[in-house]
Structure 1
Amino acid sequence: HPRRPVVPAPPLPAAPLGGPRTTPRPRRAGVVEVQRSVTAVLGQDVVLPCRYRAQEQEHVVQVTWLKRGPAGRSAEVAVLNREHGEHVQEPYAGRVLRRAAGPLEDGAIVLRNAVQGDEGDYECHLITFPMGSFEGRLTLKVLVPPLPILNPGPPLEEGQGRTLAASCTAEGSPVPSVRWETDVRGTNATRRSAHARSASVTSEFFLVPGRSMNGKSLTCVVEHPGLSHEKRITHLLSVAYLSDASVLGHTEEWQEGMEGAALTCLGDGNPPPTYNWTRLDAPLPAGVRVKGDTLIFQRPLAAADAGDYICRVSNRVAAKEARANVSIRSRAADDEVRKVDLVSASVVVVGVIAAVLLCVLVVVVVVMTLYHKRKTKRISEKYEEELTLTRENSIRRLHSSHSTDTRTQLEETLQLRAESRQGSLRGDSLRGDSLRGTSICSAMSEEPEGRSYSTLSTVREIETQTEVPAAPPGKEPKEEEEEGGGGGGGEDPIKQAMTHFVQENGMLQAKPTTNGIYINGRGHLV
């Protein structure tokens, strides 16, 4: 707060006796503008501001900067005078100067190359005319940015347990913060320690070494108010390891006379391993050269090159071996194999052709069977259709040609049966007539055994039965008269039966009638 000096007031003029007395009004003073706290970075310049806002007819005559000590004592830093210029005390010579020339209303100074000893409370005293002296106070804080250091841990080897990978230390004021950025899985531990004017932080990163971590980055990140941006220190992990060994290159196609044969030993490690080729129970054959991890046969293969080849891979971590059993086929065996292959291929081809022909034959048989079935079906349908048409036509002809009454036809049938019975009543001389009547009746109906007579055989029987020997005189005429009288007409029953037939093309066929009977499968109607 500005401290206003007590300035004695000028003596008041004596008032006339009997008149009023007046008191002068005090003038208003200006304002000191300072910051309560100023921060500086170690080694950089910092401005200590002090500005006075003057009133009319008021100006600053002198500005004095003081630094308060630990015991409350103040030490002069610099004096800025309007007439005599600047004066800097010895401890600050060359490090303190006025920020801008001109009126002393701006009494700020510049403190160059700030150090931690510059921290503390500063006072700015201003002497103005005519209002007297004023003062302002501020606190200077000097930041000490950290200088992080990353220290790698002991050598890492695959198979170790939890091991220190690296540690990162940062010291500054105020206390910095330290963290890790990495793709490697691990844990960290942090410890702090305080000093007189600063504090340090140490962070350690632990992991379980593995070959997948080799070459991965481990970054220490430090943050601090005195740093314009984060500070990062990156460390590449190095994990020593040795992978399993294996041999590549040998196949079953190796044979005598083959050129360009080679065996390659596969093995990876850190540090890079060395390779050594040997042969089990025998030295390496002549004409073989070792080039790094590869064993090269510089000549055509021979039967003596067969055997067990051993590749040894080693580095400072470990040593491992891999074995390859090399077999070489002879040309004679290869020719036999080729012949067998040709025979097998021929058999396979013949089998395939036979299978194809069999399939074709089966297809042809199936197609022909289906074709014949369809053709037979069409013929049967056509035959049935024609037979149906024939029967329909026969029925139409029967209905069209027959105009007699059903009763008349029935009477004719009964008369025929009666005449047959009448002929059967005759004696031995008339047994032929009886046989004739029986033959006619049998011709008009099917026998129980399913036999039938044709029209022609029936007619022949009738003709044979007509030739009957003459009866003795005196009896035959009488019996015929009796028969004629009993029959009512005296006609021969054979002639009456013949009225039901018609002769066409030298054959007798039954006349169509509605009550006719089929006597055989050919459709003859009686």
Structure 2
Amino acid sequence: MWMASRSWGAVLVGPCTWLMFLALGRFGVSVWGDFVEPPPSLSLLSMAEGLTRLPCLFRVQEGQVVQVSWTRERPDGGKEQVITAHHTEGHTEFGRFSGRVRFESSDPMANAALIIGSTEVSDEGTYTCHISTFPSGNFERWLSLTVWTMPISSLEPVEMVEGQSFRVAAICRSVGRPPPRLSWDTELVGQSQNRSSEGGAMSTHFSLHPLRSMNGQPLDCLVWHPSLDKPRRIANRLVVHFPPDTAVRGYDENWVVGLEGASLRCESGGNPKPQSFTWSRRGGALPEGVRMEGGALWFDRPLAAADGGVYECVARNSVGVGKAEAEVMVADSPRREASFSGLVTILGAAAGALVVVMVISMVIVSLYHKRRNRKLERELSKTTEEICTMSRQASFRRVNSVNTDPRIQVDDDVPLRLESPMRTSLSSLSAGPPGKRDSHSTLSMGRGERPASHNSTRRGERGRDREMDTYVSNSIIALDSGSHAPLAPSSLPPSVWGPLPHPRS
């Protein structure tokens, strides 16, 4: 659609205008006795109170245009003159169009386009451009004009009171051509109802059950119209009135005789805000020396013991009443009580801190002992393994230390428990220092020879066995340490060895 003179009002041209431009491009501007514009069928769209242009351009190759005129067809089918121009007598405006219309060009014979200033809705209709030529005759062209109006909108909020039944909270109205569309933009829970009436008037109602929590919530109306680039928003906030909710503040339960500057405050909400406050004391009048200022009760003197009691505050607004009370006690020496209370609080805090420290210490000690036990277990395991290893090494050495000399044999009847220690002892004796060896230092036992100790009684054998075990243990320790202490023959009792055999000749 084509738009002209946007600042004065839009003139919108329908799709037929593009057909006209195509025709002009195909057939040229000069046509034998025919219209250059408008095309055969043209629908125009204009906004009320704006400027409207109705095109009319005619060209002749022979003769001339002698008169042009515009007429409008009324809804009842009749016609009314709008304006006329004669090539010699000038132009004339008719009826309600007088002073509102004019030709676009100063030479209407060359360009007969009509301009309507401050277009009205009543200007809507079918217009005819009539061209009189000489000698070709008369020619006409029709145009259809539609006039739109910008929507005129309003919103009427309704003041609500908490506790009322389900009712209308706001009404949004709008009128325009074509009729606008209305909607609500809100998070409130409610219902909307749209209504329409003649003349393009639309309205919508939003209803809900009022609660004090809804007070001040947005309830906006949106107006949608084809003449608007985006919906027009009418901002609004819901108003819900509710009684005051009152509370008494200022008493800290530590009022003492002689305290100065004491006061009680009556804090109250509500919508609208309370404008009236009343103070009273249960069971009697207010004490002397107090004053009421706004919602506060001031003690202009030091407190006395008789100032105690139950104080009540009453707040009022246009909706209802809110009440609140507080029991005031004025003690003789609450400061000591306060000190004792503070001491108890400090002691309690200290005890709590001590408990926390003890718990933390126990946890730390437990972790330390666990860690130490794990370390000891590792060390014990390592030591056990080392002992096992040393024991195996000692066993290998004892086996390897057995005398392999075939000339020296031990009778098979000697117990195996004594064989290795005895041989080890003999090796130790043979390895003694030079100069200490004599005929008793070399021992040899022939096969079949038995020591005299086997002839002793069984009790003596058990005693010798215990002595031998002690000696073997000492020998093992000496072998494991890598050093052998000198062993004299007298280090073992004679009863163990028995009489030594003489060396063979």
TM-score (norm 2): 0.63
Task: Find the counterpart in structure 2 of residue 180 from structure 1.
Answer: 184
- Counterpart mapping for 1:72-471 below 5 A: 72-102=77-107, 104-153=109-158, 155-194=159-198, 198-225=199-226, 230-256=231-257, 261-273=262-274, 274-298=276-300, 301-327=303-329, 328=331, 330-331=334-335, 333-334=337-338, 395-399=423-427, 400=430, 401-407=442-448, 409-410=449-450, 413=452, 441=457, 444-446=460-462
| 1:494-518 deviation per Cα after TM superposition (whole angstroms, max 9, x unaligned) | xxxxxxxx9959x866437899xxx
Q: What one-letter code is carried by the residue in structure 1 that aligns with 2:497?
A: K
Alignment-mate amino acid for residue 214 of structure 1: N
Q: Residue 187 of structure 1 contacts residue 205 of structure 1 at CA under 8 Å; is this kept in 2?
A: yes
Runs (5+) with no aligned partner, structure 2? 1-30, 399-417, 431-441, 468-487
Q: 1:275 to 1:402 in 2, by over 3 A?
A: farther
Alpha-carbon distance, 1:243 to partner: 4.8
Write the distance in 1 (CA, Å) between the matches of 2:365 and 2:218.
76
- Structure 1 gap segments, 5+ residues each: 1-26, 418-436, 455-501, 516-526
Output the CA distance in 1 between the equivalents of 2:361 and 2:144: 111
Query: Are 2:497 and 1:511 aligned?
Result: yes
- Aligned in 2, Cα 1:509/1:299: closer, same or farther, shift over 3 Å? farther
Distance verdict in 2 for CA 1:405–1:78, change over 3 Å:
same
The counterpart of 1:48, out of the listed 45, 51, 54, is: 54
SS in 2 for 1:110: strand
The AA in structure 1 aligned to 2:313 is: C
Give deviations 1:24-65, integer Å, cap 9, x for gaps.
Answer: xxx95333522622333333332222111444x454232122
2:33–2:59 CA contact under 8 A, matched in 1: no
Hey, what does 2:485 align to over in structure 1? none
- In the superposition, relative to structure 1, how do residues 84 and 279 fare at CA in structure 2: closer, same or farther (>3 Å)? same
AA at the equivalent of 1:319: V
Given that 1:79 and 1:86 are in contact with CA atoms closer than 8 Å, whether structure 2 keeps it comes out as yes
CA apart distance, 1:269: 0.4
Q: CA deviation at 1:271?
A: 0.9
Q: Aligned runs of 1:33-72 on 2, under 5 Å?
A: 33-34=37-38, 36-55=42-61, 57=62, 59-69=64-74, 72=77
> Is the contact made by 1:65 and 1:78 (CA closer than 8 Å) also made in structure 2?
yes
Indicate conservation of the 8 Å contact 1:242/1:267, yes or no: no
Distance in 2 between the 1:358 and 1:28 partners? 117
Residue 136 of structure 1 and its aligned partner are, at CA, apart by 0.7
Change (3 A) 1:332 1:151: closer
CA drift of 1:275 comes to 3.1
Equivalent position SS for 1:209:
coil
> Deviation per CA, 1:355-384, whole angstroms, max 9, x where unpaired?
9999999999xx9xx99xx99xx9xx8xx9
Q: CA separation of 1:512/1:402 partners in 2, compared to 1, >3 Å: closer, same or farther?
A: farther
Cα distance in 1 for residues equivalent to 2:104 and 2:353: 107
CA distance in 1: counterparts of 2:96 and 2:49, whole angstroms: 17
CA distance in 2, matches of 1:164, 1:360: 71
Q: C-alpha distance in 1, partners of 2:363/2:225?
A: 90
Q: Could you say if the C-alpha distance between residues 32 and 354 of structure 1 is closer, same or farther in structure 2, counting changes exceeding 3 Å?
A: closer
Report the CA distance between 1:241 and its aligned residue. 0.8
Q: CA offset at residue 351 of structure 1?
A: 10
* TM-score, with length taken from structure 1: 0.61
How many angstroms apart in 2 are the aligned matches of 1:279 and 1:235? 44
Indicate the larger mover: 78-87 or 288-297.
288-297
Query: Cα offset for 1:181?
Result: 2.8
1:376-435, CA deviations, whole angstroms, 9 ceiling, x for partnerless residues? Answer: xx9xx8xx99x999998764223555311141x32x64xx98xxxxxxxxxxxxxxxxxx
CA distance 1:279–1:134, shift in 2 (3 Å): same
The aligned length equals 404
Does the Cα contact within 8 Å between 2:71 and 2:129 map onto a contact in 1? Answer: yes
Percent of paired sites with the same residue: 31
User: CA RMSD for the aligned pairs?
Assistant: 5.1
What CA deviation, in whole Å up to 9, does each residue of 1:321-354 have, x standing for no partner? 2222234463454566677779889999999999
Cα 1:395–1:244 shift into 2, 3 Å:
farther
- Per-residue displacement from partner, 1:226-257 (whole Å, max 9, x unpaired)? 66775544343321112533333434555555
Whichever of the two has the greater Rg, that structure is 1
Does the 8 Å contact 2:174/2:203 carry over to 1? yes
